[in-house]
Structures are given as C-alpha cells and as structure tokens.
C-alpha cells in the first residue's frame, strides 16, 4: 500500500514592496533550454525553460551552471545563456504575510462558496499559498490548481523585517503529516471499536468504526492523530486508542525465502472460481481454505528463489500462501455481471432477528480461525454462528460446519438448496476449501447473507456465481 501524504503547494510570502535582487550571477536564456538533475546531458530533464527566462547561478562547474529550481539543485548548460549585469542590492523594510490554517479539517473548494465541490482538506497549522482575497474567501493554490478556503479558517500573520529588496524566495512547506516509526505495527486498542474520520478532528465525519485489535496501515501522524489508509482512502484515527508494538515477523518456513511487499496496497483475488489458500508455496501442499473472487487478502511478502510465484498472506494469526498470478492490486470486477433477484425481506423468528442484529455489530471484524468470540479479535464461520445464536438466547454447542449440517440435534433438519431462502435461514456451502460442508452464514433476505469469511466478517450475495456453485442447503430455526 502506497503512502499518501497531504500535499501542499509551496508557500509564497506576500510582500508590500517590489524588491530588486542583490548583486549575484544572473543569466538570461538565449534559447529554450532543458534543466537537468546533474551536470551532464544524460541526466534526467526536470523541465524546459523558455527563451528569455532569467535564472540565478549558484556556481559554475565546467560548461554547466548550478541553479536552484523550486528550491532544489538543478543544472543548465552555459552554451545557451548570457550573463546579465547585476544591480546593487538595496535595503528596505519589508512586511511579509504568512497564511496558516487555524483549525483542523479545513475544506478546500473549487469555487468561493460553501456549496462548491470539495477538492481536499487541510490540517491545523498548515501553511497555504494565497493568491488573493475574494470577499470572505482566500484564493489559494492547491495541487497546482486554483482553489478556495474560507477566510475565517485562515490566520494571516504579518512580520516586519529588514532585508535586501528582492522577491521573497519560495520555500517548500514541510508537510503537516509527520513520519511514523515503520519498524512498529499499529493496532486498534478500543473495546468498542475506533472511529476512522475524514479529517484529524473529532468534529469530522466518521467514515467507519474499526473493530478492536484490527491491524492498521499507518502512514503518518497529525498532532494527536494517526493518518491511516483504509479501503483505498486516507483517514484519521485518534492516536490514544492505537497501540504501537514491534512489527510481527512472519515465521520462517523451511526452504522458503520471502521478500517484503508494499503493504499500503490493496491485494484482491482475481479467480472467478475462487482461490486455494495453502499451507506452503506449492500446489501439492495442503489446502487450508479458499477465498472468493474479489476478496481482499493481507499480503505479508512474496516468495523468491525456487518457490517464487507465491504471496505469503496472513489469515487470523496464521501464515499461508496463494498463487501470485491470481492476485491483483486494487479491486477486480466480477466475471459475469449478475442481476440479483428482487430482494424480499420478511422478518425472521425472534431469535434469528436478535442473532442478525448481534452479528451486524461485528461487520468488518477480522476472520480468526477457530474463534467463536470477539474477545479473540474475530470469528471463523462456524464460530460466528455459535456466538450469535447463543448470545441471542438459542443455546447451541460448538462444532464445525460439517457438524452443524449433518447433526440435526444442533440446528434442526436439512432443507433443500432449491428452497426460496428467507431472512434468518442458516445457509450452508460445500467444497469451498475441502470436500463436504465447509462454510456457513445467515440470510439477511432472499439473496444477501452475513458470514465470517477471509479477510473479515461481511455480507455477500447468493446470486454471485461462486456462492451459487457452492450452495449446499439451508436450515431454519
């Protein structure tokens, strides 16, 4: 996953006088000229400056001049420049104005009105480049484009200085987002879950509540907040509810060499019939489970050497392997667009309504193999059924999917897969990662069902090709 930092444009100090540069080596371009990263024609081109442009040389090295471009070192050949006689410096009192945000979550808009489209947000104490004031709005430069922020959210700080009268130097603004210790891993430490917000402010909109013990992808800090990446979005969580610990090192597997990968990316399954998850990076190894097409997986590394071609992934607390060729970064489309049947939602029995309500509170909770309680950080599929039913008041013993399907003493008699499913039905699937009954969930209507699946508890559709092919039958309480 790629780090996403708040990008601010460079700060421009607004001067009340027009200054003249002090004596120095100034050059005028006699042709359109490429400026480069090093003093050689084989160095990468930064940009092309037009004929007539004036630049200031820092020093000369052979047939090249060293200059500054956007406060960074650059080089220009002496073949297409001529020296300009510099003028004497004059010293004048100068007033400079710096524009700084005075609150967090400052909206940046396309036009100078509150109904205009938002194009970004600024953290508190961010320095912005103001071009001019229009009514109650400042016109600024954001991501190299003209945008607007409300003047009440910006503080203008003026400073009187005596300096040589030359245009103020444009300096890069240090980003409001600071780096974090990448040797550590960051985990939610809030029993009721942690709100992920659109900006680093308690007044900002909540995007999602992240379950306790969830591993976060932290990309930076902003004051008392962590900047994180979630669902492809840049969000913020209160740092006081996040635990930082030494980064977990995957256990070594005999004969397997694993390189690190970019964990800021989203890795999705691109296998229409599902993808086998194995205990070792070989097609002859044991199948642990199977993940559906379009599911996301937590990739920890990529195998190299004689076992190259596999991703090492984490499910719950265990490490497994999937074929790299069936994983893509980002989201994937379903193989065949399916038109879901008209949704029919009829209230379930009292106990199943309570079970559904309880289960929905844990949407997004990580999949944890063998767990039937949220105190373990999540559930597996049969553990989820066991927990929701017992919490809802229906006492049922703990067993696996095969036991729940084949033993009528647990959940009653088997019902045909040709049955029209209804809200509250317990749905069973077979042959997902091994032969026989292997997966279970609860129907929310005649198409959607809630279930504990890798990587987390979520909602899927029976009308999706993968689940239709794996359908075994139903039970009803």
Task: Decide if 24-84 and 184-246 have a common fold.
Answer: yes
CA distance 217 to 220: 9
Structure confidence at residue 160 (pLDDT)? 62
Structure confidence at residue 343 (pLDDT)? 44
Query: CA of 175: how far to CAs of 4, 68, 103, 285, in Å?
Result: 12, 21, 16, 48
Q: Could you tell me the two tokens for 187?
A: 């985990």
Low-confidence ranges of the chain (pLDDT < 50): 1-23, 89, 165, 167-175, 334-341, 343-347
pTM of structure: 0.37
Structure confidence at residue 185 (pLDDT)? 82
Structure confidence at residue 451 (pLDDT)? 94
Structure confidence at residue 344 (pLDDT)? 43
Give pLDDT tens digits for 277-307.
Answer: 888 899 888 877 677 677 778 888 899 888 8
Structure confidence at residue 13 (pLDDT)? 30
Structure confidence at residue 9 (pLDDT)? 33
CA distance 65 to 373: 68
**Do residues 101 and 122 make contact, with C-beta atoms less than 8 angstroms apart?**
yes
The 3-state secondary structure of the chain, one letter per residue: CCCCCCCCCCECCEECCCCCCCCCCEEEECCCEEEECCCCCCCCEEEEECCCCEEEEEEEECCEEEEEECCEEEEEEHHHEEEECCCCCCEEEEEEEEEEECCCCEEEECCCCCCCCEEEEECCCCEEEEEEEECCEEEEEECCEEEEEEHHHEEEEEEEEEEECCCCCCECCCCCCECCCCCEEEEECCCCCEEEECCCCCCCCEEEEECCCCEECEEEEECCEEEEEECCEEEEEEHHHEEEEECCCCCCCCCCEEECCCCCCCEEECCCCCEEEECCCCCCCCEEEEECCCCEEEEEEEEEHHHCCEEEEEECCEEEEEEHHHEEECCCCCCCCCCCCCCCCCCCCHHHHHHHHHHHCCCCCEECCCCEEHHHCEECHHHHHHHHHHHHCCCCCCCCHHHHHHCHHHHCCCECCCCCCCCCCEEEEECCCCCCEEEEEEECCCCEEEEECCCEEEEEECCCHHHHHHEEEEECC
- Give the residue among 105, 148, 114, 107 at the shortest CA–CA distance from 130: 148
**Do residues 140 and 112 make contact, with C-beta atoms less than 8 angstroms apart?**
no
Structure confidence at residue 361 (pLDDT)? 84
What is 350-475's CATH number? 3.90.1720.10
Structure confidence at residue 39 (pLDDT)? 86
- Residue showing tokens 């109904």: 115
**Do residues 370 and 362 make contact, with C-beta atoms less than 8 angstroms apart?**
no
**Rg of the chain on CA atoms, in Å:** 30
Fold for 184-246, please state it: SH3 type barrels. (2.30.30)
Peptide bond into 455 cis (omega under 30): yes
The 3-state secondary structure of 5-16, one letter per residue: CCCCCCECCEEC
Structure confidence at residue 134 (pLDDT)? 84
Fold for 24-84, please state it: SH3 type barrels. (2.30.30)
Q: Does the domain at residues 257-329 carry the CATH identifier 3.40.109.10?
A: no
Enumerate the domain spans of the chain. Answer: 24-84, 184-246, 257-329, 350-475
Structure confidence at residue 34 (pLDDT)? 84
- Give the residue among 319, 475, 320, 466 at the shortest CA–CA distance from 382: 475
């Amino acid at each position: 996953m790629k780090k996403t930092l708040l990008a601010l444009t460079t700060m421009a100090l607004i001067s009340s006088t027009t200054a003249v540069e002090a004596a120095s080596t100034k050059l005028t371009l006699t042709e359109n000229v490429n400026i480069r990263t090093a003093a050689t024609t084989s160095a990468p081109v930064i940009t092309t400056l037009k004929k007539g442009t004036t630049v200031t040389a820092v020093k000369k090295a052979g047939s090249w001049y060293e200059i500054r471009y956007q406060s960074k070192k650059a080089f220009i050949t002496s073949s297409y420049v001529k020296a300009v006689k510099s003028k004497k410096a004059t010293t004048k009192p100068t007033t400079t104005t710096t524009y700084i945000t005075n609150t967090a979550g400052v909206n940046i808009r396309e036009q100078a009105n509150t109904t205009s489209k938002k194009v970004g947000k600024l953290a508190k104490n961010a320095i912005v480049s103001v071009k001019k004031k229009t009514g109650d709005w400042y016109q600024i430069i954001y991501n190299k484009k003209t945008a607007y922020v409300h003047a009440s959210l910006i503080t203008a700080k003026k400073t009187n200085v005596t300096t040589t009268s030359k245009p103020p130097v444009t300096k890069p603004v240090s980003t409001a987002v600071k780096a974090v210790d990448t040797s550590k891993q960051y985990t939610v430490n809030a029993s009721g879950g942690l709100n992920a917000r659109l900006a680093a402010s308690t007044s900002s909109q909540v995007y999602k509540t992240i379950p306790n013990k969830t591993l976060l992808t932290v990309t930076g800090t902003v004051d008392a907040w962590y900047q994180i990446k979630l669902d492809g979005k840049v969000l913020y969580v209160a740092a006081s509810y996040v635990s930082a610990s030494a980064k977990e090192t995957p256990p070594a597997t005999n004969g397997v060499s694993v390189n690190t990968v970019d964990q800021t990316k989203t890795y999705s399954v691109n296998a229409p019939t599902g993808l086998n998850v194995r205990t070792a990076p070989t097609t002859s190894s044991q199948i642990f489970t199977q993940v559906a097409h379009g599911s996301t997986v937590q990739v920890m590394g990529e195998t190299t050497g004689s076992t190259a071609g596999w991703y090492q992934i984490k499910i719950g607390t265990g490490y497994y392997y999937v074929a790299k060729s069936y994983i893509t970064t980002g989201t994937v489309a379903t193989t065949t667009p399916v038109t879901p049947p008209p949704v029919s939602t009829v209230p379930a029995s009292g106990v199943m309504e309570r079970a559904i309500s309880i289960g929905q509170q844990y949407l997004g909770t990580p999949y944890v193999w063998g767990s039937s309680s949220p105190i373990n950080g999540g559930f597996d599929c049969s553990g989820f059924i066991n927990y929701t039913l017992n919490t809802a008041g229906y006492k049922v013993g703990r067993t696996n999917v095969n036991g729940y399907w084949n033993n009528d003493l647990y959940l009653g008699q088997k019902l045909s897969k040709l049955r029209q499913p209804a809200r509250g039905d317990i749905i069973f699937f077979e042959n997902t990662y091994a032969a026989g009954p292997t997966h279970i969930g609860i129907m929310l209507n005649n198409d959607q069902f809630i279930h504990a699946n890798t990587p987390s508890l979520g909602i899927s559709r029976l009308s999706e090709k993968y689940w239709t092919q794996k359908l075994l039958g139903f039970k009803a309480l």
